[in-house]
Copies of this chain bind each other. A is one copy, B any other.
Amino acid sequence: SSEGAVIKATPEGFSIASADKAFLLKLRGYVQMDGRFFESKADRSGATTFLMRRARPVLEGTLFHVFDFRLMADFAPNVPPLWDAYLEFRPRKEVRVRVGRFRPPVGLERNQSALNVPFIERALPTDLVPNRDVGVMVHGELLGGVLAYAVGGFNGTADGANADSNIDDSFDLAARVFAHPFRATDLHLLSGLGLGVAASRGNQFGSASTTGEAPLRTMGQQTFFIFRTGAGAGQTVMAHGEHTRISPQGYFYAGPLGALAEYVNSTQEVNLGEQHARLRFEAWQATATWVLFGGKAAYEGIKPTDPFGAASGGWGAVEIGGRYTELDVDPEAFPVFADPTVSARHAKGWGAVANWYLNNNVRVAATYDHTTFKGGAVDGDRIPESVVMSRFQVSW
């Protein structure tokens, strides 16, 4: 019966929809089980461990054709329960209005789904851009998809962090323009080229309990930079003033090849008691990937053409890749705002990855990341971090 309701149970997911697709509910989710294996036992701060990296149910859908919603939680340990929760009104491709909690349009790799990022952990520029924030965003695609734009007002987050509420009375503005200049031309080889620039600006005024600052982490998810904190008044560094970010970014996908690069400059005014400074953090990364067989490279992820488990008896797709990434802390941060024996002033790392996308739903990945530091130890430089990570991922 059900008056023509449409049910789907496919590699692309499970859903219920009305016959005219005006009402649609997708029942999605994903789970990532990782292993982290650190090389140098004596000095590493991370423990070799298995861990549930993400365990996320997702409810999303459409109401009355033009309203979309999304609710995504995460049950993994030590993360906030809420990730995405928004309502989007999309009368047309050119104008979409989104309100709620979602990713501000700043970091390029940060805005790629955790399901599709080629490496197990994102590169260092992600330390400097917002993760999730609450706000209002207008976005859309112009000129038949050649130009995408997004501009929104948000609470404002510390670098690399989430924000549940505003810590001051000012909202942050974030915006991005991103072009696929050859998408509408006959130069098909270049149709996968995307170039853009994103920026954010706002004021952050922290307090002793909510400093407005977040630690910086390596690819192995270990803290390598943290501002000074203390019990007494004037012993904790707080965000105090303007916070701006600018990020030129781009990618290129052509057949089996993929490349993604981004640079982020984040400048934040901070206070420690009477002392004030305007500190600049910079990071960049370049990632290149190659699909050996079974699919095409894409920012939106690889769809194996010959999936494992299907009647055709395929083997899915295999992708390999490498990357290089650096992060620079403002030298002015030391020694007043950060302890040079604890926090590094520079990190650079390279990594390699192999991904086996068995099918649309199952992925097995392994990465190696090697990161070296300047400063950050009592006697000079923090010990380099060498970490092998593994991931089993299922999504539906």
Contacts and interface: CB of A to CB of B under 8 A. Distances in A.
A91 B54 CA distance: 25
Contacts of A76: 82
A392 B47 contact: no
Contact of A310 (B25, B52, B64): B64
A249 interface: no
B59 A57 contact: yes
A7 interface: yes
Interface stretch (A8-16, A182-190, A238-246, A337-345): A8-16
This protein's copies in its complex? 3
Contacts of A396: 25, 61, 63, 69
A64 B2 contact: no
A77 interface: yes
Interface in A21-35: 22-25, 27, 29, 31, 33
A49 interface: yes
Nearest to A166: B49
A166 B47 contact: yes
A55 interface: yes
Nearest to A392: B99
A201 interface: no
A292 to B, nearest CB: 21
A148 interface: no
A48 interface: yes
A82 B52 contact: yes
A88 to B, nearest CB: 9
A296 to B, nearest CB: 20
Contacts of A71: 29, 31, 55, 57, 75
B23 A309 contact: no
B164 A85 contact: no
A155 interface: yes
Interface string A353-376: 000001101100000000000000
B392 A134 contact: no
A75 B82 contact: yes
